[in-house]
Structure 1
Amino acid sequence: MNETFSIRRATGENVTRAAVVFSSVNANGFSFFKLFEQFSENLHRIYIRDPFDQWYDQGVSEEITSWDALLRAITTALEELNVKQVMTFGSSMGGYASLRVASHINPHICIAISPQTLLDNRLPHTPKTPVAEANRDLALYLNGWRPNNAAIFFGAADFVDIYNVFRINWQGADLFPIKGQDHLVAQHLLSKRVLLAIVNDFVLKGTYTPNLRIQGRGIRLDRACFDEVQRLLITRIVEGFYRGGDWNVLKYTRALKALHKWADGLHLEAKQLARARQFDEAMLAAESAFKLAPSSVTISDSWAAICRQAGDTEAAILGYRRSLGLRSKHYQALCCLGELLFDIGETQEATEMLRQAAEVRPRREKAQSIAARLGLKLDK
């Protein structure tokens, strides 16, 4: 938990490959640690974690206090390891970092999952406070980058993921929109052992075959986002809903619906209707979105939140329980469920939900602040 930059040498001899693994936001330790430690004999590993959750904008420690310093530290470490082939790897905040570093060091392989390419804090999954202007937009670094071996995986049921990916003029990278998945698609890829197979290929052979590793594992792609008209509509929906753009969100979600059944189109339509306090229509749209993407925790949460706004506590509780069925340690659902259970008098279970949330994300304050407001003690 206290380490932020760790170099772990392979135990075998004459190892010439290394992975630079960046952690996601709110990580209690190094992300993907268990995945990469399976290859400790034949792979050098450099694990990096941002304790500030600021997309590495402030560096990672008292010694490494900026992006430039982080790049120098990575370059120095790779030189000392004397490697010939490098993989950069990360999801979300780590995906942003994987791409950013790759554009500077040109690794043998770059894997980025659900990466942000624009750090506008009006968008989901972005830093709470603004980052330095030089670190805000990955287009500054990626639009001139021509990667030979870069794979970008993202949720095809998540418009913000799609928006982030297609802002960039990719020249050679492989794009994988995963059907029915949202921003948390990394968990899906882990459970299907896709990421294990990709890392194994790199470690043993130095090869890059993500297309082959998807086949036969129940991974489906949704290529509708490659359609230029649909992608333009998605861009306008995201910029209108999240970034204050002068676009009629309902107009564009309904135009998009005529072209393709997009789960996130219905999801954002539901949220826009809820903003207008049209809750009956909002709940119907949210439920339809979940039926299209039943593996999406984001969409499940949204349905539950809309039910809560509408005053349907029972449905909201069922919705958040559904989210926990998809991801048992989902912080947002644990916090919201704790509040709702307290409201209906289930104090013991409410306390347990908030306790679990505090254990899952000890650096976040929401669970503790809810417990304090409700007069609940989370210490066992």
Structure 2
Amino acid sequence: MNDVEDILATSIKDGAERLLLYFGAAGTSNMASIRGFAPLLAHNTNTIVLLDPSRGWYNLPIRGLSRDADDLIEQLINRIGSFPRNMITAYGTSMGGYAALLFGLKLGVGRIVACAPQLMLDPRLPHAPKVPVKYDAIASLVTNAPKDTQIDIWYGAESFTDLYNLLRLKPRENLNIHAVSGAMHNVLATLKRHGELDAFFTYTAMAKPFSTKTAKIPTAATVPLIKAGRLFYVHKNYTAVIKMLESIADDVGLSALYVALGESFFQLQDYEAARSNFERAIVCSHENYDAHYGLGLVLEKLGKDRAAETSFRRSQEFFPSPNGQRFAKLASVQYRIGAIDDALQNYGLALELADCPSRVHYEIGLALLQKNRHHEALFHFQRHQDAYPSFKPTRTHIARLRKKLNT
């Protein structure tokens, strides 16, 4: 069967006994965007690389390939053909980890390696599709997996979302669950920083032994953590979240819980309590970028812009991929403290990303006025007006600049 450009690519290697099914994560929009996985795909294995650029979690139509998840299962069955199922490994991270579990189990493969997979695709949860899908809960599918399918799940011990998703699974003979110490949702970023990524890729592709430092989460904390996650993400009952997590946070000792407490206090506008919990999260794990970012938001509210700028910068140091919202927030506080050149640099980085907020154009216009770059300022004010035509300050700046530039 033919490949599909930027959607599905097949590689057959002479003498290779294994087949790796690679499912791309959200954000892998084309084959070029998986270049960081070249060491994984370079092993002596046959590979099928599958992407879902529309972020439909492989449940919605994939252009030129499938109508839905069930159709995709049939497509993969046909492509795999008679290849021995016990020699097939399904792999993916985040959205791809979910897909590795779902399709790996539906296909009956011998191994599944999933990093930070979602088990529940509730639109109210982070890292989940914003529309309902058919396979929106796969925990029972994983729990009841046949014994001849070996499943290894690796997730971030410092990610509250990962804890909420994966603590509901119980290890069994063919199911190993590893909470990676110090890791956020992007487990691979932590493995890379620790120099363990190549070994992890070899383990994934060739079934070689691999181990890394993992966290032990008290069994007694499992049920309260799951309940707190539902209260936080689904019901947004922040008072109840605080009551539940404060009783176990010190015993669990993970930054994820303090971040959830900090965010809950922040929503309730108790900024001093939020600050205290974000700071405790950073003590537990200095690489927790959500803790640094949350602390920056709190410091902004407390009028401490210089300290907020430091927190936002530290958040960016550990954040695994460029984020327009976070670059924009860093730039905003840099503008307010008078670091105009730094602000313009980070505004520029924000503009390069799809999730850049439209307000950035207005803020860039203000920064450019400080540098007397009037033509550029006018351009950005006009872009902001396109998005917010009734915003009076923008109209005022445009009128003044046009008058100035025409005289």
TM bin (shorter chain):
0.7 to 0.9
Query: 1:150 aligns to what SS in structure 2?
Result: strand
| 1:4–1:50 CA contact under 8 A, matched in 2 | no
Superposed CA deviations along residues 172-208 of structure 1, whole A, max 9, x for unmatched, are: 21111112222122211234454432442465xx535
Identity, % of aligned positions: 18
Q: Equivalent of 1:180, from 157, 179, 182?
A: 182
Q: TM-score, normalised by structure 2?
A: 0.79
Note closer, same or farther for the CA distance 1:263–1:201 as it changes in structure 2 (3 Å cut): closer
Q: Point out where structure 2 has 5 or more consecutive residues left out of the alignment.
A: 366-375, 380-407
Q: Point out where structure 1 has 5 or more consecutive residues left out of the alignment.
A: none
| 2:113–2:204 CA contact under 8 A, matched in 1 | no
- Give the Å deviation of 1:325: 1.9
Q: Kindly indicate whether residue 346 of structure 2 is the aligned counterpart of residue 357 of structure 1.
A: no
Note closer, same or farther for the CA distance 1:245–1:220 as it changes in structure 2 (3 Å cut): same
| 1:92–1:115 CA contact under 8 A, matched in 2 | yes
Q: Corresponding residue for 2:398?
A: none
Superposed CA deviations along residues 261-290 of structure 1, whole A, max 9, x for unmatched, are: 231222111122122211112111111111
Note closer, same or farther for the CA distance 1:60–1:350 as it changes in structure 2 (3 Å cut): farther
Q: Corresponding residue for 1:144?
A: 144
How far apart, CA to CA, are the structure 1 residues paired with 2:169 and 2:252? 23
How far apart, CA to CA, are the structure 2 residues paired with 1:245 and 1:340? 28
Q: Equivalent of 1:228, from 216, 219, 222?
A: 219
| 2:347–2:364 CA contact under 8 A, matched in 1 | no
Q: Kindly indicate whether residue 154 of structure 2 is the aligned counterpart of residue 153 of structure 1.
A: yes
Note closer, same or farther for the CA distance 1:4–1:39 as it changes in structure 2 (3 Å cut): closer
- Give the Å deviation of 1:358: 4.2
How far apart, CA to CA, are the structure 1 residues paired with 2:63 and 2:195? 33
Q: Corresponding residue for 1:301?
A: 293
| 2:306–2:337 CA contact under 8 A, matched in 1 | no
How far apart, CA to CA, are the structure 2 residues paired with 1:130 and 1:357? 27
How far apart, CA to CA, are the structure 2 residues paired with 1:61 and 1:239? 34
What is the one-letter code of the residue matched to 1:76? N
| Structure of greater relative contact order (alpha carbons < 8 Å, 6+ residues apart) | 1
How far apart, CA to CA, are the structure 2 residues paired with 1:328 and 1:197? 19
| 1:341–1:347 CA contact under 8 A, matched in 2 | yes
How far apart, CA to CA, are the structure 1 residues paired with 2:14 and 2:93? 30
What is the one-letter code of the residue matched to 1:220? K
Q: Mark the structure with the bigger radius of gyration.
A: 2
How far apart, CA to CA, are the structure 1 residues paired with 2:57 and 2:287? 27
Superposed CA deviations along residues 247-306 of structure 1, whole A, max 9, x for unmatched, are: 711211111035232312221111221222111121111111111011222222222222
What is the one-letter code of the residue matched to 2:70? D
Q: Corresponding residue for 2:27?
A: 26
- Give the Å deviation of 1:94: 1.0
What is the one-letter code of the residue matched to 2:215? D
CA RMSD of aligned residues (A): 2.8
Q: TM-score, normalised by structure 1?
A: 0.84
